[in-house]
Structure 1
């Protein structure tokens, strides 16, 4: 197995365990301390350990207690950081070494966002959180920053006494006063299940906790904790549905951290502590399917992992597929079908035709990412094309009951491993050996290796979709006179997801003019809607119609939160609108210091800045 995004020599030697000792210093915006790696040789005559790093200040390295030579060589692709080479005594197969690296991070570590207290919800204490996926763990710890290497970890973290530290691990005991630094206390953590480096996570801030069940809780700043506890009350039900599908939950705790608005993703499946965006707080639990997605990652992604980011669909496609299974268990099969159809129409096809193009490398399920930053390839393709492929296979191979039995066996077969697509495919053919003729009739090469629209479309139950199309048709058929006769009831009685779908459908129509958008706002009050998905779809629709009043709403939305799913498309839409382009760029430049580094970098590329 190889990984174009990693310099590590994991074909020769691997990490067996990682022990961290960190001090979080808000004054200089750095984490300092040490990482002790227990490494084990996979072959004979290993004389060096090669790790990934990025802007780390390394002061000393020892191997089995003796000081060792090391060298740092920048990668030709800047985003990939540097190659850290450590000299080892000649080490034979299965022999272990203890490698201790003393270092500190850069204040510009791409995995970290340091927030002044004024940037938090409560404005009481400074805040730090990490985001290591895809290849940002190397900016906070020297590591083999590839999902093909997994290991447990332990950590001792010193932080100021007025804040709380959490990690993607289970806390060990209570915080104790630091013996080394006045005004600090020490938290200890242990992650017993082997994980890839991108799942290492830390948060430090003024946080409080509300239990949701015996093994689930939510953490947030005090001012928003009650809203978060209300929104995520069904977490245990989702977790149990996941267990019914894929077997026991092996991680112990499933806690949720509600982050400040600048968090760049909807959620991040950090083990034991899922990070989520506050844009999920709608007040009516209508956006909590993201929790189902992150729960599904406990099996597909965290337990069975893609071997490198070229095969990301093995993480995300499977997880979207399982997420919708959980939604189906809780809200009915029609809702699973509706969400899958929306995924095809509103996320997969627009990504192919609007974000990329039908011949683009990044519209393949298996992508060539040699010499690039995996963040540049990040999109809805592995999520939606991957999920659609699995739904199509399910329909060809005997339906949900038959395919769910395969999913369970697949997870059991590859648990604790990192795999590539060929390994999954081989197991699929072995498992469904009695249906060889069916499998041979499926164009696997086109699904996996061809760009653009998949060769087959799954069959969807469109009962919930038909209602959306009827409401959409009212607006499409209306003219300047008849638009005044449209009433609010048909739209307002829809389910939350259906309302968003109506707006997404309308955005694709050619005759949605500003007077229609004006009437929609009169009827539905969408400028102030609390559901962020619906507000996002509304903003994009109104920009498409060139409705001038939406400009202030759009700029406020991309400033108030930093979720890339929302921010990047809206900025792209705005700069394509001549009256909005300069204000959009000015807003981004002014707000960039408050954005997460990943988001800021990607939006700057989008805007050509």
Structure 2
């Protein structure tokens, strides 16, 4: 008999948050680049929701030296292995009157949430670098805590680093460097633990607006500031839709190439990949996406990783609205159509049972929740809500929804219940429960779904038909094409393309080694699929230089499918040391890699 799942339970945390819940911590750590570890003390303050003498925390590969109460009295504790995904659980005995514990600990070199870079792995080549990636469940590898979105926390932190290096965190950041190497931070609004973030390195700062700026290595600062100069405009547009920005400042940090994501919405300090610095603002929708999370994701959060679509679907939709206001309707339409194309591709390879908005990740790796269904299918759902209700009425609902659940974590079922009380009551003539349920729990896309289109792609279809009919690449009319047109062009090429046509395309458009990482990735996928060996040296360089999972993962899969087994093994062995530990773990499993 199948065991019925508790849809309110976070299966990716061992913490007893329903009994004792941590709500604040005080962190005091020192950064040791020689040993590649954080050494510190954390005080966790908790409330008692039910009587219990046991506090259960999440940790992974942490070394706990001792645990005391706030008065220094030693408390007994035990660390128990759970499994490879969840790591360990730290069980602390707490008497009835105890409401705080103090844990002395240090991290291990295998901490999946931290990447330590040697000077030669940085742009400046002179100083080392450290950065974190806590999402989804890697905060537990650098702080012992209740690592679940359900347990939102505030915190104060003190971080000691070697002189000459700057520390920034997902909190208030002071661009003035202290003389003693000690940086202090405060986050006075409760955030999910996967938004805890730290970076240490040779970082310079430049403002991009009255409440925004960018940190990065000095050699990249000017280019990054220019690329992100529209940030304030984005903030104003977002506020006009979903109300005042709640976090004070919206700063960003452009990390080294090994950062495994396009962006990470850490509050007050969004992490960004350097692959966004294209020189023409063609990829800054990622900035809009991480900004949009300030409302949908950071204010209203997923309670479990099954519910990730509540973050990513609304945010992907909201991103499109920001892009439309700042860069125009054509670009918004282009991005929406490309978004749908990504979803279509994944529908071909994902089992039908996995094609729902709630991610089927209970008792599985939560990284599997990050797919095109929690992002793009969910976004299509939100777009349809706008279409059904009309933009004015839908905007009213969206604002009401965000305000109602601000600073809380909700499940899919919480959203559905809320929709029953609001959407289905106020707009009963435009949406019914059966349609809502089909979108949320149904497999694939509803039968009535109408895909997004854009007349702007007509010129791409014309070029494709001409190319297939035998016209050479140099005769195609590609004037005024944007990056999105090129992405669409490459994605719509036939699965099988002749070597002569690939050579012609490459000689005319210089796809191999293209400066735009998106275009380069799309081209390499086409080339690998068709065994176009001339790209292999540039592909190797690309995979060794870029650590963004969105690009790296599909390229290795393409190599695997195409039969480049020896090349794959050699490239991965060369590129792997530069990847973030969390990406290494995923790729090791995917590629059956054994050092």
Question: Quick check: TM above 0.5?
Answer: yes
**Match for residue 526 of structure 1?**
511
Cα deviation digits, residues 340-392 of structure 1 (max 9, x gap):
221112x11212223x3333x3x321133222220134322211011011111
Q: How does 1:132-211 map to 2 (within 5 A)?
A: 132-171=134-173, 175-178=177-180, 185-211=181-207
TM-fit CA distance, 1:334: 3.2
Alignment coverage as a number of residue pairs:
584
Deviations 1:384-440 (A, max 9, x none): 0110111112212x2222211111111111000000112222222322313224322
Gaps of 5+ in 1: 179-184
Structure-2 separation of matches of 1:177 and 1:462: 55
Whether the 8 Å CA contact 2:340–2:451 is kept in 1: the answer is no
Partner of 1:420: 411
How many angstroms does 1:298 deviate by?
A: 0.4
What is the correspondence of 1:11-30 to structure 2 with a 5 Å cutoff?
Answer: 11-30=18-37
Matched, 1:548 2:533: yes
Please report how far the alpha carbon of residue 177 of structure 1 lies from its aligned counterpart in structure 2 after TM superposition.
Answer: 5.0
Structure-to-structure mapping, 1:328-339, within 5 angstroms: 328-339=324-335
Structure 1 match to 2:246: 250
1:153-212, Cα deviation, whole Å (9 max, x unpaired): 11000000011000000036955455xxxxxx2000001111011111000000101111
Question: Aligned equivalents of 1:172 and 1:18: distance in 2?
Answer: 20
Q: Deviations over 1:202-239 (max 9, x none)?
A: 00000101111121111111111111111111111111
Matching residue of 2:569? 585
Question: Please, what TM-score do these two structures have when normalized by structure 2?
Answer: 0.95
SS of structure 2 residue aligned to 1:521:
helix
Matched, 1:605 2:592: no
Partner residue, 1:56: 62
Q: Deviations over 1:100-137 (max 9, x none)?
A: 11111111100000000000011010000000000000
Distance 1:365 1:451, change over 3 A: same
TM-score computed with the length of structure 1 as normaliser: 0.93
Q: Which moved more, 1:367-376 or 1:320-329?
A: 367-376
CA distance in 1 between partners of 2:485 and 2:317 (Å): 20
Specify whether residues 403 and 464 from structure 1 end up closer, same or farther in structure 2 by C-alpha distance, changes over 3 A only.
same
Partner of 1:182: none
Q: What is the aligned partner in structure 1 of residue 256 from structure 2?
A: 260
* Cα distance in 2 for residues equivalent to 1:68 and 1:231: 52
**Kindly tell me: are residues 99 and 582 of structure 1, through their superposed partners in 2, closer, same or farther at Cα, counting changes over 3 Å?**
same
* Structure 1 residue 90 corresponds to structure 2 residue 96: yes
Q: Tell me if the contact between 2:204 and 2:215 (Cα under 8 Å) persists in the aligned partners.
A: yes
Runs of at least 5 residues in structure 2 that lack an aligned partner in the other structure: 1-7
Deviation, structure 1 residue 535 = 1.1
Q: Verify: 1:567 aligned to 2:541, yes or no.
A: no
Aligned residue number for residue 495 of structure 1: 482
Indicate the SS of the match to 1:86.
strand
Aligned with residue 444 of structure 2, among 452, 473, 479:
452
Q: State the alpha-carbon separation in 2 of the partners of residues 333 and 400 from structure 1.
A: 14
Deviation at residue 498 of structure 1 after TM alignment: 1.4
Structure 2 counterpart of 1:344: 340
1:382 aligns with 2:389: no
Equivalent residue number for residue 271 of structure 1:
267
Residue matched to 1:353: 348
CA contact (8 A) 1:476 1:512 kept: no
Q: Show the 5 A alignment for 1:277-356.
A: 277-345=273-341, 347-354=342-349, 356=350
Quote the residue 1:47 is aligned against. Answer: 53
The 8 Å contact of residues 306 and 362 in structure 2, kept in 1 or not, is answered as no
Assess, with a 3 A threshold, how the Cα gap between structure 1 residues 334 and 441 changes in structure 2: closer, same or farther.
Answer: farther
Q: Is 1:71 paired with 2:58?
A: no
